[in-house]
A and B are shown apart, each in its own frame.
Chain A
């Protein structure tokens, strides 16, 4: 086939400047977010340039007060208020405990002793030795959940027969509390670590699996048709169409999985192991070091928050919906 010179007359959409809408929206967004959303418009069409100039240079637009205020509010002020309220409630609780003679021995739970203990844990480096085994178990559990959940999820998303066959067993298994597997896990695995990883996997696999399956079912059927039409084989379909289409669903499932895995981790570490955050909590309780216990709880919260943030950035990374 010979490719001729293009002589397509200018269609109306060429002339329709996309810039005005974007310019109007600009003050509400920080410049960085905009640049990220429009990586390709380095050379705007002629119409856009005129509009942009009339609306002022990038600098004057970026530093307009409403934009700065919105940015500061959402990234600094609102989170700060939330943290302050949480700390205030904690402090109030600690104050109430300290002033009640019946439970005054638990005064270590208050923020001040807890943060002092946290500082000590970090300074001595003990905290890393506590965090590392827990992160390892979480990581392994999530890895297995991923390795099992994604392929099975894709399969039941693609095959309605498989979906119907697995429906009852999966819903049945899903409803069993992961901790109810504990005795079986202890019997089945030679090491405590193995048992804990198993419990986390059992908890984390379902959100990954169901979210993946749902993502597959939501794929536009025309995407399959077009790819088949262009000559895609099964592997190419999986790699070029299905996986990119459901990336964000997989990581949304993983985000839920991190939540439940993190919840299961601590009680699972009450089992025979002598390391990890759950063990540290149990140990602190037995030795009556309530300030350390509270410090470990803070550590658990912070790591959970960071893991969640990691998942959110993965979801963003694999999201192709422009509205996101």
Chain B
């Protein structure tokens, strides 16, 4: 079963901040959907993702996952970070099975197949510090998948990797999520990543952080990065993004909400 996420008018003001970081965020994510969240640095993407994960409670509004209000973290909705943050005193296998260990039911066969899946079967007993950045991030992916989450939240998970590894992992995560019927929310700075992975791209604007608009990406999976459709989608997303949150040079006030149709007309 996959997750149906609904965010009901979240507003959040950090302690000691004069203005809200997030304001009136409302959105719905369908089961099995892959959603990318893009926006300029500091617009509140990570903050919103933490709220979906239950790692941070909004000052107003709430998040529901499959009808249950999110009040605390759970292995059912799992977050992956930019840094793999593996525990260096544990082997690769131990890191991957940690969520199961916490839940009290270890499952070595499952860990074996997950390590196989992320291409690290031969490193199961290795010290995680001896792995490359890409390998470490794949261990983190196996760790996230081990508890069979319904919802995977990814906060710029591949931004520290080289372009080849990044592309490979994007396709792989996307494929795994589709196969397992996982709902995916990925925060990224990278337009390419959004087009490569998402069914729908949410564009966030800053001050206060809000959803300025969205764009559907209707490309079949797996996505061929060299195809003309891919380039078109990429260009369209760039245009939409610039139209919504500016190209960084203009200081004119931005429209609060714009639909995809409005953007097409403007373009």
Contacts and interface: CB of A to CB of B under 8 A. Distances in A.
Interface of A: 1-6, 8-9, 11-14, 16, 18, 38-41, 43, 220, 222-223, 225-233, 236, 240-241, 244-245, 247, 320-322
Given A220-B85, A244-B87, A231 B126 contact: no
Interface residues of B, number: 55
A246 B129 CA distance: 17
B42 interface: no
Nearest to A42: B125
Interface stretch (B58-66, B140-148, B188-196, B232-240): B140-148
Nearest to B135: A13
Interface of B: 53, 55, 73-75, 78-79, 81, 83, 85, 87-90, 98-99, 101-103, 110, 113-114, 116-119, 121-123, 125-127, 129-130, 132-135, 138, 143, 145, 147-148, 162, 164-165, 168-169, 172, 175-176, 179-182
Contacts of B119: 6, 8, 11, 14
Q: Which 9 A-B pairs have the closest CB atoms?
A: A13-B132, A230-B99, A320-B89, A1-B180, A231-B75, A8-B119, A222-B85, A6-B117, A322-B129
Does more than half of chain A's interface fall in helix, strand or loop, or is it mixed?
loop
Contacts of A322: 88, 127, 129-130
Contacts of A8: 117-119, 138, 168-169, 172
Contact of B118 (A6, A230, A236): A6
B168 to A, nearest CB: 5
Contact of A229 (B73, B117, B138): B73
Most buried by A among B83, B87, B176, B181: B87
Given A16-B132, A231-B99, A240-B101, A245 B89 contact: yes
Contact of B55 (A5, A228, A241): A228
Nearest to A243: B89
Contacts of A39: 127
A4 B117 contact: yes
Nearest to B77: A229
Most buried by B among A4, A41, A226, A227: A226
Most buried by A among B55, B98, B110: B98
A1 B145 contact: yes
Contact of B180 (A2, A40, A43): A2
A12 B88 CA distance: 23
A320 B134 contact: no
A241 B73 contact: no
A232 B135 contact: no
Nearest to B101: A240
A13 B116 contact: no
A26 to B, nearest CB: 16
Contact of B116 (A6, A16, A240, A244): A6
A4 B78 contact: no
Nearest to B181: A1
A41 B129 CA distance: 13
Contacts of A5: 116-117
Nearest to B165: A11
B110 A3 contact: yes
Contacts of B169: 8, 11
A135 B11 CA distance: 62
A1 B175 CA distance: 13
Contact of A231 (B79, B102, B145, B168): B102
Contacts of A223: 85, 87
A223 B143 CA distance: 13
Most buried by B among A1, A233, A236: A1
B267 to A, nearest CB: 35
Contact of A40 (B126, B134, B148): B126
Contacts of A2: 179-180
Given A41-B130, A231-B103, 9 more contacts: A1-B145, A6-B119, A8-B118, A8-B138, A11-B165, A43-B122, A222-B81, A227-B98, A241-B87
Nearest to B145: A1
Contacts of B165: 11-13
A228 B175 CA distance: 27
Contacts of B168: 8-9, 11
A316 to B, nearest CB: 13
A90 B148 CA distance: 69
A22 to B, nearest CB: 10
A34 to B, nearest CB: 13
5 contacts: A1-B148, A3-B116, A11-B134, A229-B73, A244-B87
Contacts of B98: 227, 230, 240
Contacts of B176: 4
